[in-house]
Structure 1
Amino acid sequence: MEKRVDFHTHIIPEQIPDFNEKYGADRWPTLEKTCSCGANIMVEGNVFREVTDQVWDPEKRIKDMDKEGVDIQVLSPIPVTFSYWADAEAAEEMSKIQNDFIAETVKKYPKRFIGLGTVPLQDVETSIREMDRCIHELGLKGIEIGTNINGENLDDPKFTEFFAKCEEWGVPLFIHPWETLGRERFPRHNFMYTVGMPSETALAAASLVNGGVIEKFPNLKVCFAHGGGSFPYIIPRLDQGWKVWPHLRKTEHPPSHYTKNFYFDSLNYDPLNLQYLIDRFGDDKIVMGSDYPFLLREIDPGKVVDETKQLTEEQRKAILGRNALQFLNVDLEDMD
């Protein structure tokens, strides 16, 4: 039986220790309840995001899933909790709290949820250790990482060992924007979410292809949030840059050559944009994702897929569920 899988959803434990008090800092995210069904995620004493109990309550999520026709959610941490800026040991502790919570949620509802973990990428050795635990002990199916680590792009040589281990272990990566470039220019209009994040994602993807990461690790499995942001639309420009600046080349082939194994979620809201993704990358490389439970999410999940009329029934089924399970190395029979 075909499953409708929402690849892009976020979750956070209802109870998070006050790391600000423990480690004497103020950048750690905390959850400050406003009522029984809501809270504020606080950072540096300010409201970072208002959330509802949908973000921590699996029973509430399942009710929404049933209402909106979703069979399975893929759970991933909220990027503000990555805490790449912190001491690696403290960030590892924060990662473990989230990874354990996600694993426990999946264990309690194994037919409804699949889990992704997080690792403290400011220290690669620590990240590999926690990834090992996530995949081989907790049974999580992949790792969510940010688009940069403290302002360093993903092609920085210090991350080579991490990507090598991901390829060796067959660990899928979900790359999500955070700490967007140029954020000092985004206060008005919430441009951080509508302009900054798509641009940040494009920079991360371009770094992987132009920087030779994908050439070095051709079997690395990577999925980009928000339809890849602006990356799909600037690939010809990246190719042109590779062509006219041969002294900057780090790869044998132009950037477009290294996008063959990239996956993208479908969260671009418009059938015209979704069709462009399909035409450029193939219908087998698109996974349905809604960004549940945040304000910019797609309701109902998969709406843009349903509204893309050119799709065949087989293409639709693949994008709505089958592709995500394949990307995460999950057997459909395990979810029945």
Structure 2
Amino acid sequence: MSKTNLRVDFHTHIIPEDFPDMAAKYGDDRWPTMNRTCDCGAEIMIKGKSFRKITDQAWDVEKRVADMDEEGIDIQVLSPIPVTFSYWSDPEAGLELSKFQNDFIASVVKEKPDRFIGLGTVPLQDVDMAIEEMDRAVNQLGLKGIQIGSNVNGLNLDDSSMEKFFEAAEKWDVPLFVHPWATLGGERMPRHNFMYMVGMPSETALAAGSLIMSGMLDRYPNLKICFAHGGGSLPYLLPRMDKGWEVWPEIRKTVNPPSYYAKKLYYDSLVYDPVNLQYMIDRFGPEQIIAGSDYPFLLREIPSGKVVDELKSLSKEDAQLILGQNALKFLGLHEMAVSK
């Protein structure tokens, strides 16, 4: 496989088959638990109710590799299922679950280092603990980045309590993948699975907008941050944000308008429609877009990069950037591409 043709699926999720029963251990049914329904599936339970159904693709490494081979994917980037962030929990317990998942993902990568790259998770409800676990995950376990949620117990990512974490991530050159969870307006989305279709894109836009408007990207210009689901609704809101920045000088905390900083962030390609992908390319440039599928969930793109393949106006060189090279650049793994 030449380095130019490499296909990397940046956005995939994995969970240990022996996921710990934190609810029983701590006597709190808010913890996500795994209820096996058959050899090939399970339900993630919260408060005694089914949160989501998953198949064994979520934990069976051999089945995952078989799917990759069938779909032409060379490498998957593994990250936890967002509901397991559990930022609401006691920080020590949150750290315990973070360590368990980070150790598991590192073990999968060690088993098949040519097929998998790992991202870790940290207990962001305690920034000092989060920084310590980020250090361990990256420098001891060899994970190549950290996945974080779009908010921490209702605090947006620009909250001053979290700035130290972003400062450390920039200092250590740790890439961050922001995934929506605990979406805004959740109480209005119980029907139609709107949490996934409307809530998550809106939540992602709020998370990205918070960082962009905060001035944090002026203070930490080398931060590497990628937003899931094509940045949600952010690409379409940027002109309105620019206008707000222009007409309300009292809200300005940045040197430049929001669209300037949006071009410095990364976004996965999970927008399903070539028209939407073209809009993202026009707004951000092909260098900022990374192919990702949301494997193994029902809303995933099959295969990863399908929307890239369908955009016929895209040059071969730009397609190769999006399908594989941008992911490796974002993760600091240029040498991995060369070795392929």
- Please tell me the TM-score bracket, short chain as reference: over 0.9
Equivalent residue, structure 2, for 1:271: 274
Measured in 1, the distance between the counterparts of 2:260 and 2:304 equals 31
Cα distance in structure 2, aligned partners of 1:19 and 1:195: 30
Structure 2 counterpart of 1:182, one-letter code: G
User: How far 1:244 moved relative to its partner?
Assistant: 1.0
Whether 1:72 and 2:46 are equivalent positions in the alignment is: no
1:41 has 2:69 as partner: no
Deviates more, 1:20-29 or 1:170-179: 20-29
Q: Which residue of 1 aligns with 2:87?
A: 84
- Partner SS state of residue 51, structure 1: strand
Q: Tell me, what secondary structure is at the counterpart of 1:48?
A: strand
The answer to whether the aligner puts 1:164 opposite 2:185 as a matched pair is no
Provide the residue aligned with 1:184 in structure 2: 187
- 1:268 is displaced (CA, Å) by 0.2
Instruction: Point out where structure 2 has 5 or more consecutive residues left out of the alignment.
Output: none
What's the counterpart of residue 332 of structure 1? 336
Counterparts of 1:280 and 1:12 in 2: how far apart (Å)? Answer: 34
CA distance in 1, matches of 2:20, 2:269: 34
Q: Quick check: 1:51 aligned with 2:54?
A: yes
Q: Identify the residue that residue 20 of structure 1 maps to in structure 2.
A: 23
Cα displacement string for residues 240-274 of structure 1 (whole angstroms, at most 9, x for unaligned residues): 11111111221222111212321110000000000
- Greater alpha carbon shift after TM alignment, 303-312 vs 21-30: 21-30
Residue correspondence of structure 1 range 189-268 to structure 2 within 5 A: 189-268=192-271
Q: Using the aligned pairs only, state the percent identity.
A: 65
- Counterpart CA distance in 1 for 2:58 and 2:158 is 32
In structure 1, distance between residues paired with 2:262 and 2:167 = 18
Runs of 4+ in 1 over 4 A off after TM superposition: none
1:335–1:88 CA distance, 2 compared to 1 (3 A): farther
2:145, 2:174 within 8 Å by CA — same for their partners in 1?
yes
Aligned mate of 1:323, from 326, 335, 339: 326
CA distance in 1, matches of 2:197, 2:263: 26
- TM value normalised by structure 2: 0.97
**1:265-304 to 2 correspondence within 5 Å?**
265-304=268-307
Deviation at 1:332, TM superposition (A): 2.4
Structure 1, unaligned stretches of length 5 or more? Answer: none
Does residue 1:123 correspond to 2:126, yes or no? yes
Q: Distance in 2 between matches of 1:334 and 1:31?
A: 39
> Residue 197 and residue 335 in structure 1: after superposition, are their counterparts in 2 closer, same or farther (change >3 A)?
farther
Q: Specify which of 131, 140, 145 is matched with residue 143 of structure 2.
A: 140
Classify the secondary structure of the residue corresponding to 2:6: coil
1:6 corresponds to? 9
SS of equivalent residue, structure 2 residue 280: helix
Q: Is the 8 A contact 1:110 1:335 kept in 2?
A: no
State how 1:108-119 maps to structure 2 within 5 Å.
Answer: 108-119=111-122
- In the aligned structure 1, how far is the partner of 2:149 from the partner of 2:339? 28
Q: Measure how far apart 1:335 and its partner are.
A: 5.5
CA distance in 1, matches of 2:321, 2:124: 32
Alignment of 1:100 with 2:94, yes or no, is no
- SS of 1:189 mapped into structure 2: coil
Taking the aligned partners of 1:103 and 1:45, their CA distance within structure 2 comes to: 30
Instruction: Give the whole-Å Cα distance in 1 for the aligned partners of 2:222 and 2:57.
Output: 35
Asked if the contact 2:325–2:337 (Cα under 8 Å) also holds between the matched residues in 1, the reply is: no
Asked whether the equivalents of residues 209 and 215 of structure 1 are also in contact (C-alpha less than 8 Å), the reply is no
Q: Which amino acid is the alignment partner of residue 298 of structure 2?
A: L
Displacement, 1:334? 7.0
SS in 2 for 1:188: coil
Mapped partners of 2:62, 2:88: distance in 1:
33
Q: How many residues align?
A: 336
The answer (yes or no) to whether the contact 2:12–2:295 under 8 Å persists in 1 is yes
Instruction: Report the Cα distance in structure 2 between the residues aligned to 1:255 and 1:279, rounded to whole angstroms.
Output: 16
Deviations 1:134-180 (A, max 9, x none): 10000000000010000000000011100000000000000000000
SS in 1 for 2:146: strand
- Partner Cα distance (1:324, 1:202) in 2: 21
How well do the aligned residues superpose, as a CA RMSD in angstroms?
0.9
**Structure 1 residue identity aligned to 2:279:** Y
Task: Decide whether the 8 Å contact of 2:180 with 2:204 is kept in 1.
Answer: yes
